[in-house]
């Protein structure tokens, strides 16, 4: 790879180091800018386009890690190599977690530094090339309206096989389904499967992402409107309920739907009727709901993000997707699937994975679940050399020793002490959830009389 045209920025307060480095890099064909402190460095990054930054962690005007954060926020793709004065391994590891390409401790060996820079630039080049290629393919697919064939999902582990059995049993019915699970775990995959195996498969599955949509617009999107119903309603719009007619409505991140809309949706589900905004005409609603949320249900209920009455209506079947770290058996077949997928996409022969790298992939906790694994494999396929993926070709986070890695969501975070009322309310909600809304059973489970439960439900505004 040619080094000319590559502009490198060095941020270091020790002038002799700055000068030696500048001379060294210039001799090897780089264009070099230097800055003795963070603020000048950041200013230079704004005015010129750099291919790489060498950043000292001890700077006179602030913390090097903070400077790294700022660089990564503004220019997330720009590779940064950290220079550490002492063998401060802790900071070096922290900097890799925050997105640095690598670190090198001073005094550094010239050869080592040069090869590190070259590798970082090469990686950058490959990643950019892959992104461009992907964009081209996507544009082509869009223009030709080629739907990318969805590979068959992996259901190898025991919990996933059980989920597939449940799907096969209930997909043909019209029962509503709630899919719960951490981000990236495959909730949309499940929704697609249920729809595809239902008697509604020939009709559309319409998706509304309640988290991604501006809250004020969800109502109109969902119910449709007539021209003039509100400012901005310049045309009639049929809405998603109409679009899903005879098919399935997938409500992604249902706990982000405004509360009053949840109530209105519940009414539509009960009455099978609805109206466009601004119209009095009553329309028939024929759709099945599959809803998803990545918040734990008890939490969504206790924070009033999910209305309990809607919850009981949607919860005819609840599918709890286990996080990937709890079903490691799925990891190898998922790796195989993604290896095939990405090498085809990149037009590369399928690489092998070195045993140590494979072990890293198995040991990692995957807080971002299947999506994170998919991204990691794409990254590794892009970087694979001579048909092999080694530990070095894995994302930095996965290369770290297990003890230093994030452990995934685990137990929901508790902030401080809850009030006794909150504890009581949550316990009641949990009991009701466990008994599927059956108050008699819930009262028994809680060890209280039914009237007492009714009183408490009233007091905490719990509705079923």
Chain positions contacting ligand ATP, by CB under 6 A: 153-154, 181, 183-189, 294, 334, 337, 370-371, 374
Question: Residue 224, CB half-sphere, CA atoms under 13 Å: how many?
Answer: 20
d(CA 326, CA 365): 9
* CA atoms of 105 and 87, how far apart (whole Å): 6
Note whether 316 and 194 are within 8 A (CB): no
Nearest distance, CB of residue 28 and Mg ion, angstroms: 47
- 52 interface partner picked from Mg ion, ligand ATP, none, CB below 5 to 8 A per type: none
Q: 163-202 as b/e, with b when 16 or more CB fall inside 10 Å?
A: beebbeebbeeebbbbbbbbebbbbbbbbbbbbeebebee
| Distance of closest approach, residue 157 Cβ to Mg ion, in angstroms | 20
- Cβ distance to ligand ATP smaller for residue 8 or 319: 319
Q: How far is the CB of 192 from ligand ATP (least distance, A)?
A: 8
Angle CA 8–116–6, to nearest 5: 25
Selection from ligand ATP, Mg ion, none that 295 binds (CB < 5 to 8 A by kind) is: none
DSSP state of 329: G
Alpha-carbon distance of 90 to 72, in angstroms, equals 19
Of the two residues 65 and 189, which places its CB atom closer to ligand ATP in the complex?
189
Residue 118 binds Mg ion, judged by CB under 5 A: no
Using CB under 5 A, which of the segments 58-66, 184-192, 309-317, 359-367 binds Mg ion? Answer: 184-192
245 binds Mg ion (CB under 5 A): no
The stretch near Mg ion (CB under 5 A) out of 56-64, 186-194, 342-350, 387-395 is: 186-194
- Nearer residue to Mg ion within complex by CB, 278 or 408: 408
Q: How far apart are CA 294 and CA 170, in angstroms?
A: 22
Least Cβ distance, residue 189 to ligand ATP (angstroms): 4
> Closest distance between Mg ion and the C-beta of residue 427, in Å?
30
**With respect to Mg ion, which residue has the nearer C-beta, 100 or 370?**
370
By CB under 5 A, residue 188 contacts Mg ion: yes
Which tokens go with 183? 């981000």
Q: How far is CA 390 from CA 62, 102, 334, 385, 454, in A?
A: 36, 16, 18, 9, 61
Stretch (H or E) spanning 207: strand 205-209
Instruction: Tell me the closest approach of the beta carbon of residue 187 to ligand ATP, in angstroms.
Output: 3
209 is a contact residue toward Mg ion (CB under 5 A): no
Identify which range of 179-187, 324-332, 357-365, 396-404 contacts Mg ion by CB under 5 A: 179-187
Output 67 or 198, the one with its CB closest to ligand ATP: 198
């Amino acid at each position: 790879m040619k080094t000319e045209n590559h502009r490198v920025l060095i941020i270091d307060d020790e002038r002799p180091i700055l000068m030696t480095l500048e001379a060294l890099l210039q001799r090897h064909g780089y264009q070099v800018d230097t800055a003795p402190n963070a603020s000048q460095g950041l200013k230079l990054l704004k005015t010129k386009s750099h291919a790489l930054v060498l950043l000292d962690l001890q700077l006179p005007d602030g913390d090097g890690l903070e400077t790294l954060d700022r660089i990564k926020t503004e220019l997330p793709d720009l590779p940064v190599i950290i220079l550490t004065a002492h063998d401060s391994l802790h900071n070096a590891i922290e900097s890799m977690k925050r997105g640095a390409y690598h670190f090198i401790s001073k005094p550094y060996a010239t050869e080592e530094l040069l090869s590190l820079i070259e590798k970082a630039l090469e990686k950058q080049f490959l990643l950019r090339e892959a992104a461009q290629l992907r964009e081209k393919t996507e544009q082509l697919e869009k223009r030709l309206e080629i739907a990318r064939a969805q590979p068959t999902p992996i259901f190898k582990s025991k919990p996933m096989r059980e989920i597939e059995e449940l799907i096969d049993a209930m997909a043909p019915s019209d029962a509503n389904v709630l899919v719960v699970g951490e981000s990236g775990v495959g909730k949309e995959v499940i929704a697609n499967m249920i729809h595809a195996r239902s008697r509604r498969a020939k009709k559309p599955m319409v998706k509304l992402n309640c988290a991604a949509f501006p809250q004020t617009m969800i109502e109109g999107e969902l119910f449709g409107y007539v021209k003039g119903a509100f400012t901005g309603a310049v045309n009639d719009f049929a809405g998603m309920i109409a679009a899903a007619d005879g098919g399935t409505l997938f409500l992604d991140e249902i706990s982000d739907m405004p509360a009053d809309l949840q109530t209105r949706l519940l009414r539509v589900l009960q009455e099978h009727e609805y109206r466009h905004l601004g119209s009095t005409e009553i329309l028939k609603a024929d759709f099945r709901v599959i809803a998803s949320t990545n918040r734990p249900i008890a939490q969504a209920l206790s924070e009033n993000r999910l209305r309990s009455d809607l919850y009981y209506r949607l919860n005819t079947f609840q599918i709890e997707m286990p996080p990937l770290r709890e079903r490691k058996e799925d990891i190898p077949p998922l790796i195989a699937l993604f290896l095939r997928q990405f090498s085809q996409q990149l037009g590369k022969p399928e690489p092998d994975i070195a045993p140590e790298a494979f072990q890293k992939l198995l040991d990692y906790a995957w807080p971002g679940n299947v999506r994170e694994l998919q991204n990691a494999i794409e990254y590794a396929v892009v970087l694979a050399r001579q048909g092999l993926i080694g530990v070095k070709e894995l994302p930095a986070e996965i290369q770290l020793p297990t003890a230093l890695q994030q452990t995934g969501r685990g137990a929901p975070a508790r902030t401080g002490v809850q009030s006794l009322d909150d504890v009581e309310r949550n316990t009641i909600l949990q009991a009701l959830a466990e008994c599927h809304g059956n108050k008699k059973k819930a009262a028994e489970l809680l060890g209280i009389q039914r009237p007492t439960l009714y009183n408490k439900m009233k007091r905490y505004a719990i509705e079923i």
